[in-house]
Chain A
Amino acid sequence: MLRTKPWTPYLYLAPVSLLMLFVFGYPLAAIFDFSMRRIRGASGPFIGLENYRQIFKDDVFQQAILHNAQLLLAVPILVLVGIVLAVLLYERVAGWRVYRTILFAPFIIAIPVIGVVFSNMLSLNGAVNELLRAIGLGFLALDWLGSAQMALWSVMAIIIWHEMGFGVVLFLARLLSLNEEIQEAARIDGAGWWQRLWYVTIPQLKDVTEFYAVVSVITMLAWVFPFVYVMTRGGPGNATQVMELYIFNFAFRNSLPGIASAVAVILFLITLALMIPLFQLRARAEMEGIE
């Protein structure tokens, strides 16, 4: 048998590890470094935690965090709607493949296109309100994107509409891979539709649900910029200001990449803080399953 030195495997891994370190590690280290400098152009003087101090006393940043937190309310909605629609499709109602395509379609439409279309539809005199007025529901015709009370909810609804298709396809794929005998057995035992859904189907979707929830949390924290930018620019006032837009404004408009980096670090840490317990829960569940 050929004997190798203990460090030989590491040698084989070294090129890829170095590449990974460069691709992922360097930008991360650079952002941490930038966050403690007053960057003008490509670099700037070290100013310690001054950028962080500026951020935390800025009420626009506080509003941005609050709005991102509010958008997290969409996560359970996305999971719930995704599961329900996937289960309905799984029942193989007539034309279910067409419905699946229709439900998935929003997910593949470019976000700027969605933004422009919905901006027009949801303006005070847009198609949605015109329709409401035409059917005698004029009292429901609100300034969906122009009112501070409604704007963030409207943006959230559009994000849900866009992201929902991904969840449906994900859950449906998992359902189609399940052993149908379990469903059949439950049916023979007299379990109704709701009972089968609650006690048989949903427990088997646990892994996918966790994955989708994690992806949705990341979406709501760090992937809503194009929606907000195209539809409201963070307005009216700061009613739809979110952390990504705050980063964009500081990095590309206010010419203060140092502050933008500090917010990026905070966003990274918040996301990490939310992800770690989720992965720990999953690891514990897997261990329990093994035992």
Chain B
Amino acid sequence: MSEKVLRISRRDFIKLAAASAAAAGVYYWPGSHPFAARAAGEKLRMWWWGEQEAPGLEKWVKDSVAIFEKETGVTIEVTLQDTTTVISEFQTASAAGNAPDIQFLWNGIYHMESVWLGYLEPLNGLISDELLKEADATVLSIYQGKQYRLGWYACSLIWLYNKEMFDKAGLNADQPPTTWEGLLDACDKLKSKGFTPIVGGLKDGPWGEWYMGHALGPNLDTPAEALKLFIGELDWREPRYYEHWTKLEQLWKAGYMNEDMNSIDLYPGMDYFGAGKGAMTAIVVPTLGKQAGMLGAEKVGLMVFPAGGKGKMNNKPIRDLQGLGISSQSQHKEIAAKFLESLHTPERVQAIWTDSKALPTDASWDGNKIEDPLFREAWKNWVANPDSVPYISNLMPVMFWTDAMFVNAQKIVAGEYNGEQAGENAQAVATKWREQNPDLLEKYQIWANDLAL
């Protein structure tokens, strides 16, 4: 570019700035934008969840809504949902014909059932293909080629280890174990130094779910294999599919886990790690800041759970993320789509990180700029890593969660089940689920074909 072109007089600059400001004003003034002209005055409802795991998101949601309302003249009524009612509230409202326009959605089966019930609108056609790809919601949000969620922030699953304890136990703090034998050896050395090797809380259930995702996945080749276990094409009683529970039994019986595991919930169990009372624990990315803050970031290391699996998904980081979708009952699908798009401007995406320290999942967001090395590593290996795998536990029917996963993990820790008995219970629950849900079975079969990657 020549110097001549760059040379602008002060008068010209003022004219240019005034014209730009006027153009921007016209563009953003409610009713002046072609879309805003159509949408102004409309009211939408949004039900969301997330503040519970990523404090600060509420501010982000409010700011995002305020920006959109100012730009379009649309009003969005926002409701933060309780953890226990995120799914049931949406499904009940949908059954009553009174669903919100925009709904927060957990991944996999946690929103796929709503898809099968016809409560969610495919986003294809409403949102550009570029953005659907950019804010990818993982393969578990796609059914029959249609995408039902737009990615929001990462909730990938990571194991943390305490570098200081590793050092004291004579372990290499920069190279956490990568095999099952390596994990047992590390646990043994940690225990001999008086440290509790693994900490967690099973009473409310999610720790058992996380463990299953970390330890069953590595024995599978594809996510579809997990679905086949539920639809009866594969059998939970095969050692490969209950081995993760046998390994849980092994860890428990060796005294490698906190003894009060069955009597405390997920978060108090996890906080043992932050309090320096345990050497390893499982977390989701949004809770990384809290644990690092409690323990001291310099002492925290990140690792993939060394489950020692025999499948193609072994030793891969688990990538998962939260998302938002649009109700099929919404009278304002186009506006809802525009709102979802507005959440993915570079400024709004950056604000997710700034406001809540949750990691955005948009492909264009550059996590290399994160100053905190721990979060940078989490982003690089668990969010932006193309070699990551989906979270298997997102595929289990809820009945399997309550009657098999939850029961098995607690009974193993209570000494009532061994791995094989857990496998038998899993098979019995999967059979029961099929008998009680013959109409969902077909959908699961189709989904399994979709996921046979």
Which positions in A face B, CB cutoff 8 Å?
38, 40-42, 54, 58, 60, 119, 122-126, 143-148, 232-238, 249, 251-256, 259
Cα distance, A282 to B352, chains bound together (Å)? 66
- Which of A123, A252, A254 gathers the greatest number of chain B CB atoms within 10 Å? A254
B205, closest chain A residue (CB): A233
- Indicate which residue in A38, A54, A232 contacts B203 across the interface (CB closer than 8 Å): A232
Is B263 an interface residue when CB atoms closer than 8 A count as contact? yes
Given A41-B117, A236-B262, CB of A253 within 8 Å of CB of B402: yes
* A145 near B416: Cβ-Cβ < 8 Å: no
**Interchain nearest-CB distance for A186 vs B (Å):** 50
Interface contact A148-B94, CB-CB below 8 Å: no
List 30 A-B residue pairs with CB atoms under 8 Å apart, sorted by A's residue number.
A40-B117, A41-B94, A41-B95, A41-B117, A41-B118, A60-B403, A123-B263, A124-B264, A125-B260, A144-B263, A146-B264, A146-B414, A147-B262, A232-B203, A233-B203, A234-B402, A235-B203, A237-B411, A237-B414, A237-B416, A237-B417, A238-B403, A249-B399, A252-B85, A252-B88, A252-B92, A253-B88, A253-B401, A254-B402, A255-B113
CB distance from A35 to the nearest CB of B (A): 14
Contacts of A124 in B (CB 8 A): 259-260, 263-264
* Bound CA–CA A238/B414 (angstroms): 12
Q: CB distance B91 to A54 under 8 Å?
A: no
Interchain CB contact under 8 A, B398 and A123: no
Distance in angstroms from B257 CB to nearest chain A CB is 12
Count CB-based A-B contacts (< 8 Å).
98
Nearest 4 interchain pairs by C-beta: A146-B263, A146-B262, A124-B260, A252-B88
Please tell me which one of the listed residues A60, A147, A256 contacts residue B414 in the complex, with CB atoms under 8 A apart: A147
* Chain A interface main SS type: loop
Contact of A237 among B95, B407, B437 (CB under 8 A): B407
Contact between chains at A233 and B260 (CB < 8 Å): no
Verify if B387 is at the interface (C-beta below 8 Å from A).
no
State which residues 248-284 of B face A: CB under 8 Å.
259-265
How many Å from the CB of A201 to the closest CB on chain B?
42
Q: B260: which of A40, A41, A42, A123 is its contact (CB, 8 Å)? A: A123
CB neighbours (8 Å) of A254 from chain B are 397-399, 402, 436
User: Is B259 a contact of A236 with CB atoms below 8 Å?
Assistant: no
Query: Is the Cβ of B260 less than 8 Å from the Cβ of A146?
Result: yes
Which chain A residue shows the least CB distance to B208? A235
Which of B's residues lie within 8 Å of A, judged by CB? 85, 87-88, 91-92, 94-96, 113, 117-119, 202-205, 259-265, 397-399, 401-403, 406-407, 410-411, 413-414, 416-417, 432, 435-437, 439
> Which chain A residues border B436 with CB–CB below 8 Å?
54, 254, 256, 259
> Could you tell me the distance between the alpha carbons of A119 and B263 in the complex, rounded to whole angstroms?
8
Q: Is the CB of A40 within 8 A of B439?
A: yes
CA distance A254 to B265 in the complex (A): 22
Asked whether, in the complex, the Cβ of B407 is within 8 Å of the Cβ of A238, the reply is yes
Residues on A with C-beta less than 8 A from B88 are 251-253
Our pick among A58, A236, A249, A259 for the contact of B410 (Cβ within 8 Å) is A236
- B261 to chain A: which residues have CB within 8 Å? 146
Smallest CB separation, A5 vs chain B (Å)? 43
> How many Å from the CB of A91 to the closest CB on chain B?
41
Smallest CB separation, A10 vs chain B (Å): 35
Which residue of chain A lies nearest to B89 when distances are taken between CB atoms in the complex? A252
Partner of A233, one of B96, B264, B406, B414: B406
| With A38-B439, A42-B95 as contacts: A123 and B264 at CB distance below 8 Å | yes
Residue from A123, A144, A232, A259 having most chain B Cβ neighbours under 10 A: A123
- Measured CA separation A237–B409 after assembly (Å): 8
Please tell me if the beta carbons of A143 and B262 are within 8 angstroms of each other in the complex: yes
A123 to B204, CA, bound (A): 13
Kindly report which residue of chain A lies nearest to residue B114, judged by CB atoms.
A255
Report the bound CA distance from A143 to B113 in whole Å.
37
Closest CB of chain B to A141's CB: distance in Å?
11
Q: Among B118, B205, B410, B413, which residue has the most Cβ atoms of chain A within 10 A? A: B410
Complex Cα distance A166/B261, Å?
A: 35
A126: chain B residues at CB < 8 Å are: 263
Q: Select which of B94, B259, B437 is within 8 A of A256 by beta carbon.
A: B437
Q: 18 new A-B pairs (CB below 8 Å) besides A40-B439, A253-B398? A: A41-B117, A54-B436, A60-B403, A119-B265, A124-B263, A124-B264, A126-B263, A143-B260, A143-B262, A145-B203, A146-B414, A236-B203, A236-B262, A236-B413, A249-B399, A252-B85, A254-B402, A254-B436
The distance in angstroms between the C-alpha atoms of A256 and B95, with both chains bound, is 13
Could you say which residues of chain A place their CB within 8 Å of the CB of B406?
A: 233, 235
